[in-house]
């Protein structure tokens, strides 16, 4: 007797569907724009300087009249035989206070 060959049924392989991974889009951080400083026009600079001069008419922006540096300069002038007036950080000699009254 002949043996019947059993036909092997080929199982169809189910193709696995590959799940597409959704790539998360990275949100780009917006760069903050640096504000450019506007260059001041000459007229604006002059206005500021004149305002400073009006506020500190004797050139006393940082030093007070009674600072020790002014006393030292006064003593130096006296020793040289000059009239000290009021000595400040200003390059020009400043008239005494009574002058403005």
Q: Is residue 81 part of a domain?
A: yes
Task: Judge whether 28 lies within some domain.
Answer: no
Q: Residue 81's domain spans which residues?
A: 63-101
Convert the pLDDT of each residue in 15-39 to its tens digit: 666 666 666 667 777 777 777 777 7
Mean pLDDT of the chain: 63
* Inside any domain, residue 77: yes
Residues 44 and 52: their CA atoms lie apart, in Å, by 13
59 burial via Cβ count (<10 Å: 0-12, 13-18, 19+): middle
Q: Give the count of domains, the chain.
A: 1
Report if residue 58 sits inside a domain.
Answer: no
93 inside domain: yes
Would you give per-residue pLDDT tens digits along the chain (101 residues)? Answer: 566 666 666 666 666 666 666 666 677 777 777 777 777 677 777 777 766 666 655 555 455 555 555 555 556 666 666 655 555 555 566 666 666 55
What are φ and ψ of residue 86, in 5° steps? -110, 125
Q: Is residue 76 part of a domain?
A: yes
In this prediction, what percent of the chain has a pLDDT beyond 70?
A: 23
**Rounded to an integer, what distance in angstroms lies between the CA atom of residue 90 and that of residue 52?**
14
Q: Is the pTM of this model over 0.95?
A: no
12 domain-assigned: no
């Amino acid at each position: 007797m002949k043996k019947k060959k059993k036909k092997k049924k080929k199982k169809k392989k189910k193709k696995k569907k590959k799940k597409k991974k959704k790539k998360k889009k990275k949100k780009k951080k917006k760069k903050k724009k640096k504000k450019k400083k506007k260059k001041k026009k000459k007229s604006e600079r002059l206005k500021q300087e004149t305002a400073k001069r009006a506020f500190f008419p004797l050139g006393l922006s940082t030093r007070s009249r009674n600072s020790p540096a002014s006393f030292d300069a006064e003593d130096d002038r006296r020793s040289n035989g000059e009239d000290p007036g009021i000595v400040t950080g200003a390059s020009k000699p400043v008239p005494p206070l009574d002058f403005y009254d």
